[in-house]
Amino acid sequence: MSAFLLISVLALPALGALVVAATPGDRAARAVGTAVAALTLVPAVLLVTGDHGWFGYGPRPAVQPWHQLDLPWVPGLELRFHLGVDGISWPLVVLTALLTLLCCGYTLWRVPEGAGSGKALVALLLVVEVGILGTFLALDLVLFFLFFEVVLLPMYAIIAGWGGADRRRAARKFALYTLFGSVLLLVGVYVVVAAAGTADLVTLTGGSGLSRGTQLAAFTLLALAFAVKSPLWPLHSWLPDAHTQAPTVGSVILAGVLLKMGTYGLIRVAVGVAPEGARWAAPVLGVLAVAAIIVGSLVCLAQDELKRLIAYSSVGHMGFVLLGVATLTATGIQAALIGNVAHGVITGLLFFLAGAVKDRAHTGALAELSGLRETAPRLAGLLGFAAVASLGLPGLAGFWGEAFAVVAAVQRGGPLWTTLAVLAAVGGALTAAYFLRLLRRVTHGRPSPAVGRIGPGVAVAELTAWAPLVLLALAVGLVPTLVLGYASGPVNALLEVVR
Amino acid sequence: MSLVQSVDNVALLPAYLAAGTAVLVLLADLVVARAGVTWAVAAGGAAGTAVGAALVGAGETRRTFCVGADCSWLYDDRAALVGALFALLTLGVLAISGPLLRAGGTPVGEYCFLLACSLTGGVVLGAAGDLITLIVALETLTLPLYVLVGLRRGSVAGAQAAVTFFVVSVVATTLTLLGAALLYAVTGGLHLGRLGALFGERPELLDLPLTTAAVALVVLGLAFKVAAVPFHAWAPATYDGAPLPVAAYLSTASKLGGVVALLAVTGLALPATVTGPVLAVLAVLTMTVGNLVALRQRRTVRLLAWSSVAQAGYILAPLGALALAAGRTDEARAGAYAAAVAYTVFFVLLELAAFAAVVALRPAGADGGTLDELRGAARRHPWVGGALALALVGLAGLPPGLAGLFAKVTVVRSLLDGGAGWLALVVAVNAVVGLAYYLRFAAVLWAPGAGPAPARPARTVLAALAVTTAVAVLVGFAPQVVLDLAAR
């Protein structure tokens, strides 16, 4: 059963992509793709079943997968097809499957203008899904690297094929930046493998047997690799271009789950495999994370383009997530995990809404948008909801990650971490400031000519794509144990060996 | 010592098969005088050579032409791999030569004969046990290529390319020969194994300046053959002037020959303390310069040529680990050689696929042209365009080109096992630079824009492309097959 679930989570979208590519007829192919994405969500949710405790003999291992599958693949490169899922990865797996389904469904209603057919776009979305899910499920370092790489070119093709006016440059920048990250990951992975003689994450977690020098080198390489993907300031400059130029579905996947590969990798691989390196680098990581929060918010305050503003807000939000990881406390890492999920849900929603506004008004410039609530009250209301959720209002999903990242930094104590906590809190206030500015510019005031043309209607397909995200933002905000309940066990086990 | 030697003819069988193919092609061209028959004889001979090489290699190691313990002909597993690979590459190049030969302007008999001669050199090269056999084999491999490059009637570019190639290559061979002679003067031996043993027994020989000069000459002369920077300038001009299938042969089989020769002398004969640093510098220069210059190329074949210069750098990189003491343990050395061989196998496969696809997308008998002439080609020929993109992405080392990804992984792994982390980082950063131009090439294939009216590619070319792509996909999912073959 375990093997069946894990395999089907990866095999369904992989085979689905082939079937979609082979299906004649564009609309039929898109429908097939959506059906496959929906089917994939089933085993992804079902992965929650299984053995959540540890009933074996001997000491508790740091990673206790609910489901596992371990097959040999390339012994010469220490590569095993080792998959597993636990409380750290499961919420992200479900989020990925859900967002892909929503994106595929959205393309049923509207295919972005571009060089290719909607069929190709759906097939590429499914391939991206395989890569992201594989990254979250891999329990072998080399396999993790392999899936990490799988995402790169399909995402490049989505941006370059269906993006905005400046798509080629943005896509190339995305590909080169993230490849730079993943080649560092490759070197980091084999620094660990050459020293430890195994690539098994279950064995490696806790840094067993690695010398201090190796751990420092490995952590530096791995953290740099994940910092590019997350992205951590100052390695973030690919993100605004890519998010702005990508088609709506591309932005949703990018912001919603692709960035999470970086933060997930940081927790599971970098901190897990080289804890000594993590302790050594934590202050640097914390300072950079807070710099990202402040810089991200300040840049957002000065942005005058809707999608670009939301893109830059990701830099700030991911800063909170990284701050949580950098504290290396249970609170901090849990904050990072829930922040990850919340950001995926809320920013996914924000990009959907920004895309809807841009599609209707044919412009994203804040100067040309105003008075949206006069002409399209429902759209304006949803945008307001998403913005308020993103700025971290208590009761909505964004609150927990940001608040508890700050709390964790305070708990960590000492002059450095207290200062960082204060600065992060200031950054949180700035976040509120720029989102309120966004709402004032876009929804309030007299309708601008561009907004005046917009009708009040919202398509059923759009509401269907947005409703799950709205509900999740509420649910995670009101009942954070949806995520934290599953994550607390694995996080504590991880921190036991890291300390 | 008896002057009558028993010759192990079974060990020599692959060489007989290859040479026999050349003779048969010549006879068929004389007697039957039909292009199709000549081509079929050459293709059949190449296939037979591949089978023969594999069958003989399946047994245990065979030696012949021995003086005492030193043998000039050593047919082991690696020799079998090299022989079979050469034969298969020749077969592939013959298949993609179809349109060129049918377009006229190229004499079929001579073309096939010269390719078969070159194949003979390659088969002998893999089994060479002494420096003289090695150099003669390498020349047998290259000599026919001078003519092949300039064989098209009335092609000025071809003639220029041939002359450039000829002059540079002869100088390189002279350097290698001089190095071999100096080595003989120092040690009194020419057998690869014997040289290695001698340097091991009498380390004081290494302090002689003459030894350093001799080793440097041999390595640098061979570096010309793999087109390593700074001995690379001939490659782009030659590739671009040559007919497409010959360029394919140059960048796969001829490069393989240089790599095999380099591996043989550095692996068995020459002291790693001297060759290691030289190879490390060569590798870094080669991949960096190759990649940077490739960024600026606008002509298809020149881009592939410069990229193959860069790829030669990745091939040499694992050997660069020999520069450090940690890389000179027996285990690390074996790993480094296996990694270089494995990378070469993955590389020639992808490179042949890329050239086959370019041949398929271009009009019959045409040269590579500019990248713009391939604009939108994948929209007109989705399958061929897809195969070309897959090969390019593989050369860049990214999924879905898994074969290329595993090739890069193998190199990085062997470097880190040898403690050469800095070189691994150089390889990694170069891979990023490489992606920039491979991506540009691949993106052109889907770019909107008018191109020449679609013509149906020749059947043999499509067959070659399909088979190489299928094999590349297969070894992408089962790279252990290649790693096992390379490690023997």
pLDDT at residue B4, rounded to an integer: 63
> Does any domain span residue B327?
yes
pLDDT at position B80 is 93
Q: Which two three-digit tokens encode residue A64?
A: 């206790």
pLDDT tens-digit series, residues A427-444? 999 999 998 988 888 888
**How far is Cα A138 from Cα A145, in angstroms, rounded to an integer?**
9
Q: Which two tokens stand for residue B429?
A: 């950063």
| pLDDT at residue B2 is higher than 60 | no
Residue B478 C-alpha, separation from nearest chain A C-alpha, in angstroms = 7
Mean pLDDT of B247-267: 90
Is A153 within 8 Å of chain B by CB? yes
**What is the pLDDT at residue B469?**
95
Q: Is residue A57 pLDDT above 60, yes or no? A: no
Looking at the domain assignment, is residue B369 inside a domain? yes
The residue of chain A nearest to residue B436, with distances taken between CA atoms, is: A176
- Amino acid at site A353: L
- Are the Cβ atoms of A115 and B448 closer than 8 angstroms? yes
* Unique residue bearing structure tokens 């830059």: A312
Contact A226/A263 with Cβ under 8 angstroms?
A: yes
Mean pLDDT estimate for chain B: 88
Say how many residues make up chain B: 488
| Chain A CA closest to residue B424 | A187
In the chain, the amino acid numbered B207 is D
DSSP A456: S
| Helices A330-361 & A90-109 angle (0-180, nearest 10) | 0
**Predicted local distance difference test score (pLDDT) of residue B18:** 94
Calculate how close chain B gets to A32, using CA atoms only, in Å: 22
d(CA B282, CA A61): 46
Per-residue pLDDT of A257-289, as tens digits, reads 899 999 999 999 888 888 888 889 999 999 999
Judged by CB atoms closer than 8 Å, whether chains meet at B417 and A175 is answered as no
B399: closest chain A residue by CA: A150
Contact status of A124 with chain B (Cβ, < 8 Å): no
Task: Kindly state whether residue B264 falls inside one of the protein's structural domains.
Answer: no
ipTM: 0.90
Q: Answer yes or no: do B398 and A76 touch at CB < 8 A.
A: no
- B439–chain A nearest CA distance, Å: 8
Within an 8 Å CB–CB cutoff, is residue A216 touching chain B? no
Nearest residue of A to residue B448, measured between CA atoms: A115
Is B69 a member of any domain?
no
pTM of the model: 0.92
**Number of domains observed in the structure of chain B:** 1
| A462-483 average pLDDT score | 88
Q: Which residue of A has its CA nearest to B396?
A: A179
Residues of A in contact with B393 (CB under 8 A): 153
Tell whether A148 lies on the interface with B, counting CB pairs under 8 A. no
Closest CA to B279 of B340, B308, B322, B311: B322
- Taking 60 as the threshold, does the pLDDT of residue B1 lie above it? no
Helix H or strand E segment including B295: none
For chain B, say whether A212 makes contact (Cβ under 8 Å).
no
Task: Quote the pLDDT of residue A7.
Answer: 92
CA atoms within 13 A on the CB side of A286: 30
| Interchain proximity A180–B429, CB inside 8 Å | yes
User: With contacts defined as CB-CB under 8 Å, which chain A residues touch B317?
Assistant: none
Across B2-16, B347-361, B416-430, the highest mean pLDDT is recorded for B347-361
Contacts of A116 in chain B (CB under 8 A): 446
CA atoms of B234 and B165, how far apart (whole Å): 6
Residue A56 above 60 pLDDT?
no
Give the per-residue pLDDT at B194.
87
Question: Would B323 be classed as within a structural domain?
Answer: yes
Q: How confident is the model at residue A60 (pLDDT cuts 50, 70, 90)?
A: low
> Which of A115, A156, A186 shows the shortest C-beta gap to B428?
A186
Instruction: Please state, in angstroms and rounded to a whole number, the distance separating the CA atoms of residues B33 and B43.
Output: 16
Nearest to B432 among A76, A150, A180 (CB): A180
CB atoms within 10 A of CB B113: 24
Place of tokens 């040479």: B19
**CB contact, 8 Å: A17 with chain B?**
no
In this structure, is the dihedral angle defined by the CA atoms of residues A135, A140, A142 and A146, taken in order, positive or negative?
Answer: negative
pLDDT confidence of B232, banded at 50, 70, 90?
Answer: confident
Distance CA A421, CA A289 (A): 11
Poorest-pLDDT segment among A364-378, A419-433, B112-126, B301-315: A364-378
Query: At B452, is the pLDDT very low, low, confident or very high (cuts 50, 70, 90)?
Result: low
Question: Of all residues in chain A, what percent carry a pLDDT higher than 90?
Answer: 39
Domain that holds residue B330: 271-488
pLDDT band at B348 (very low <50, low <70, confident <90, very high): very high
CB of A217 within 8 Å of a chain B CB? The answer is: yes
Give B390-439 pLDDT, tens digit per residue: 999 999 998 888 999 999 999 999 998 888 888 999 999 999 999 999 99
pLDDT value at A58 more than 60: no
Residue type, A479: V
Residue B327: predicted pLDDT: 67
Which residues from A are below 8 Å from B413, CB to CB? 77, 190, 193-194
* Nearest chain B residue (CA) to A127: B400
**Whole-angstrom distance, CA of residue A6 vs CA of residue A43:** 8
Residue from B375, B158, B190, B171 nearest B264 by CA:
B190
Token pair, residue B274, equals: 């001297």
Tell me which chain A residue has its CA closest to the CA of residue B476: A74
Confidence at residue B199, expressed as pLDDT on a 0 to 100 scale: 85
A262, two tokens: 């970086």
Nearest to A88 by CA among A69, A66, A68, A71: A66
Contact B398 A179 (CB under 8 A): yes
Picking from B399, B431, B484, the nearest residue to A183 by CB comes out as B431
Structure confidence at residue B225 (pLDDT): 85
**What six digits make up the tokens of A84?**
């597993």
Distance in Å, alpha carbon of A76 to nearest chain B alpha carbon: 6
Q: Please give the residue of chain A at the shortest CA–CA distance from B402.
A: A146
Q: Mean pLDDT, to the nearest integer, of A450-476?
A: 85
Whole-angstrom Cα Rg for chain B: 21
Interface contacts (A, B; CB < 8 Å): 84
Give the pLDDT of residue A369: 84
Least confident of A2-6, B6-10, B236-240, B452-456: B452-456
Q: Are the Cβ atoms of A187 and B439 closer than 8 angstroms? A: no
- CB–CB of B84/B50 below 8 Å? yes
Rounded to a whole number of angstroms, the distance from the CA of A180 to the nearest CA of chain B is 6
Cβ <8 Å between A176 and B435: yes
**Nearest residue on chain B to A75, alpha-carbon basis:** B480
In this predicted model, what pLDDT tens digit does every residue of B29-70 receive, in sequence order? 999 888 889 999 999 999 999 999 999 988 888 888 888 888
Interface contact A74-B406, CB threshold 8 A: yes
- pLDDT band of residue A207 (cuts 50, 70, 90) is low
Query: What does residue B397 show for φ and ψ, rounded to 5 degrees?
Result: 85, 40
Residue A61 has pLDDT above 80, yes or no: no
**CA closest to B423 among chain A residues:** A187
| Contact between B435 and A179 using a beta-carbon 8 Å cutoff | yes
pLDDT higher than threshold 80 for residue A65: yes
User: With an 8 Å Cβ cutoff, is A186 touching chain B?
Assistant: yes
The number of C-alpha atoms within 13 Å of B201 and in the hemisphere containing its C-beta is 7
> Long-range contacts: B168-173, Cβ < 8 Å, 24+?
B168/B224, B168/B231, B168/B233, B168/B234, B169/B142, B169/B224, B169/B225, B169/B234, B171/B224, B172/B221, B172/B222, B172/B224, B172/B225, B172/B231, B173/B135, B173/B138, B173/B139, B173/B142, B173/B221
Mutate to test the interface with B, among A179, A180, A210, A222 (most CBs of B within 10 A): A179
Q: Does A183 touch chain B if contact means CB atoms closer than 8 Å?
A: yes
Percent above pLDDT 70 for chain A = 97
d(CA B473, CA B481): 13
The closest of B281, B237, B284, B232 to B258, measured between CA atoms, is B232
Q: Is A11 in the B-facing interface, judged by CB distances under 8 Å?
A: no
Q: What is the pLDDT of residue A324?
A: 92
Average pLDDT of the segment spanning B455-472: 90
Neighbours of A22 (CB within 10 A): 11
Question: How far is the alpha carbon of B142 from chain A, nearest alpha carbon, in Å?
Answer: 34
Interface test with A, best of B439, B475, B477 (most A CBs within 10 A): B439
| pLDDT of A161 higher than 90 | no
Query: Which one of A153, A155, A167, A178 makes the best mutation probe of the B interface by having the most chain B beta carbons within 10 Å?
Result: A153
Q: How far is B4 from chain A (nearest CA, A)?
A: 45
CA distance A445 to A454: 15
| Interface of chain B toward chain A, CB-CB under 8 angstroms | 393, 398-400, 405-406, 408-410, 412-413, 416-417, 421, 424-425, 428-429, 431-432, 435-436, 439-440, 443, 446-448, 478-480, 483-484, 487
Beta bridge mates, A356: none
* A18 reaches B (C-beta below 8 A): no
- Mapping DSSP to helix (H, G, I), strand (E, B) and coil, where does residue B128 land? strand
Residues 6+ apart with CB under 8 A from B27: none
Q: Is residue A170 less than 8 Å (CB to CB) from chain B?
A: no
Contacting residues of B for A194, CB less than 8 Å apart? 413, 416-417
DSSP category for residue B5:
P
Q: What is the pLDDT of residues A340-359, one digit of tens each?
A: 999 999 999 999 999 888 88
| Cβ contact A361:A368 at 8 Å | yes
Residues of chain A neighbouring B443 (CB-CB closer than 8 A)? 160, 168
The CB density around residue B418, as the number of other CB atoms within 10 Å, is 30
The 8-class DSSP code of residue B397 comes to T
- In contact, B14 and B121? CB cutoff 8 Å: no
Q: Which chain B residues touch A14 with a CB distance below 8 Å? A: none
Length of chain A: 499
Residues A479/A483/A489/A493 CA torsion (nearest 10 deg): -140
